[in-house]
Amino acid sequence: MTGVAAGSGVAALSAGDKAEVLVEALPYIRRFRGTTLVVKYGGNAMGGSEELALFADDVVLLRAVGMDIVVVHGGGPQIGELMVRLGKKPQFVDGLRVTDAETLDIARMVLVGKVNRDIVAAVNVGGAPAVGVSGEDAGLLQARARSVELGFVGDIDEVRPAILQRLLREELVPVVATIGTDEEGQAYNINADTAAGAIAEALGAEKLVYLTDVEGLRRQPDDAASVLSTVSVDELDAMVQEGSVGGGMVPKAASCARAVRAGVAHAHILDGRIPHVLLLEVFTRSGIGTMVAR
């Protein structure tokens, strides 16, 4: 199943093979109907329009079989590209972008005005009604400044999920841009990995999925053959402390562990470059990537 989906495609299957695929998917469709899936999509996992269309197809199919889907997206590379085009040099402290007022405006333009719109349009074209939401809308992501040095980079104080719950009741697909706000209305750029985990917690999601540009969590960071199919939250904590998980994978790992401890059944780190990777994870026996569980 995995080899077919990632390689030759469903079109190469015989009618009998297609029937077997559907039969294999049936118990998972029954199991996950009515549950909530939060997907973090964006940044390095984003490709061109073709890759976005494939992702949108997955979202549409999952919605069609009765799952509630919330898409949370980043856009760090896209923010950096626009900054360079505007003649502004990105600066980082401990891997986090220093965000002054001008950089915050750029981040809002990219995340809310470009990336969010592209994802919403793709899902709508695919056949599911999607609605773009910023973390500023209805106070969804309540935030505070992380540090004076980083400027308008925020940490989440609280998720107020009422707007997402209302949209899900209407069978819509919320697509969330991760700009948060404080009680005074000051906006902050929020790490999308952290935001996705916090939203999954607030919604009591069945699954939290991170789409990235690696095969999954690796026991040895430089060894692609050391990808772990499953890992417990305690093992994940230990890997972060010993340095086996580093760089941009740290906020994903921390959010996975926190979400699972808070009641999210499973968290997954998947290679978003694989066509229909969401369907492979949800609807096949073997799954794909790394699953984080208790």
Flag whether 139 is in a domain.
Answer: no
Residue that is written with structure tokens 């053959």 in the block: 225
Render pLDDT for 127-182 as a digit per residue (tens, 0 to 9): 999 999 999 999 999 999 999 999 999 999 999 999 999 999 999 999 999 999 99
Q: Is residue 89 part of a domain?
A: no
- The yes-or-no verdict on residue 1 having pLDDT over 80 is no
Tokens, residue 243: 């340095």
Residue 4's Cβ-count burial label (10 Å; 0-12, 13-18, 19+) is: middle
Q: Residue 99 falls within a domain, yes or no?
A: no
At residue 12 the predicted structure's pLDDT band, cuts being 50, 70 and 90, is low
Q: In this predicted structure, what is the pLDDT of residue 44?
A: 59
- 151 assigned to some structural domain: no
153-160 contact pairs (CB < 8 A, 24+): 153/96, 153/97, 153/98, 153/99, 153/188, 153/189, 153/190, 154/180, 154/182, 154/188, 154/189, 154/190, 155/190, 155/194, 156/180, 156/190, 156/194, 156/195, 156/198, 159/198, 159/199, 159/201, 159/202, 160/202
Range of the domain at 69: 2-76+104-134+192-293
Spatial separation of the C-alpha atoms in residues 137 and 176, rounded to whole Å = 10
Q: Which residues contact 255 (CB under 8 A, 6 or more apart)?
A: 193, 194, 196, 197, 198, 208, 210, 267
Domain assignment of residue 90, yes or no: no
- Residue 184: inside a domain: no
State how beta strands 207-212 and 173-177 pair. Answer: unpaired
CATH number of the CATH domain containing 59: 3.40.1160.10
pLDDT (tens digit per residue) in 239-249: 988 888 877 78
Residue 227 reports pLDDT greater than 70: yes
Q: Report yes or no on 196 lying in a domain.
A: yes
Per-residue model confidence (pLDDT) at position 59: 97
Number of domains in the chain: 1
> Is position 223 within any domain?
yes
Kindly report whether the global pTM for this prediction surpasses the value 0.85: yes
| CB 98 within 8 Å of CB 91 | yes
pLDDT at 142: 98
**What is the overall mean pLDDT for the chain?**
90
